[in-house]
C-alpha cells in the first residue's frame, strides 16, 4: 500500500491545514483565519487544537518549519507543506472524490 494512503483519512483540521499550506507557507494565526474562511466558519481552530495538529503533522513529516519572516512577523513561526504532505493531500482528495461520486450515484440512481 502507498505510504500516503496509510495516513488516511485525514481529520478535517489536518486536511484544511495542508490545503492552506499548499498556497504558501503560513504562521499559526494565519492558518486559523484561512481555515475559518475556507470552511465558511464551520471549523474554527483554537490555538491548542492548531498547535497540537501542527506538531502531529510535523512529526509525520507532512509539514516543516519554513525560514522566518522579516519585520513585525519575525516572531511568528512559519510552516510549509513537504513533498510527503502534498502526496498525502493528493491521496485524500482522491479518496474524497470517490466518496462524493458514490454518494451522487446513490442519490441519482444512475451509473
pTM, full prediction: 0.88
Sorted by where each begins, the domain ranges of the chain are 3-108
Question: In what helix (H) or strand (E) does residue 64 lie, and over which residues does it extend?
Answer: strand 63-66
Instruction: Give residue 21's pLDDT.
Output: 98
Average pLDDT score over residue span 64-83? 81
Here the cell at position 67 is 525560514
At the topology level, CATH places domain 3-108 in Arc Repressor Mutant, subunit A (1.10.10)
The pairing of beta strand 78-81 with beta strand 26-27? antiparallel
With 70 as the cut, is the pLDDT of residue 69 above it? no
Asked if 10 contacts 86 with a C-beta cutoff of 8 angstroms, the reply is no
SS3 at position 14:
helix
Amino acid at each position: 500500500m502507498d505510504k500516503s494512503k496509510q495516513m488516511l483519512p485525514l481529520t478535517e483540521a489536518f486536511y484544511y491545514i495542508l490545503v492552506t499550506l499548499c498556497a504558501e507557507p503560513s504562521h499559526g494565526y494565519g492558518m486559523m483565519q484561512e481555515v475559518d474562511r475556507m470552511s465558511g466558519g464551520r471549523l474554527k481552530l483554537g490555538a491548542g487544537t492548531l498547535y497540537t495538529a501542527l506538531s502531529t503533522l510535523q512529526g509525520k513529516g507532512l509539514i516543516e518549519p519554513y525560514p522566518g519572516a522579516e519585520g513585525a512577523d519575525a516572531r511568528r513561526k512559519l510552516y510549509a507543506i513537504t513533498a510527503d504532505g502534498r502526496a498525502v493531500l493528493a491521496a485524500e482528495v482522491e479518496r474524497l472524490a470517490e466518496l462524493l461520486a458514490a454518494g451522487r450515484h446513490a442519490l441519482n440512481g444512475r451509473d
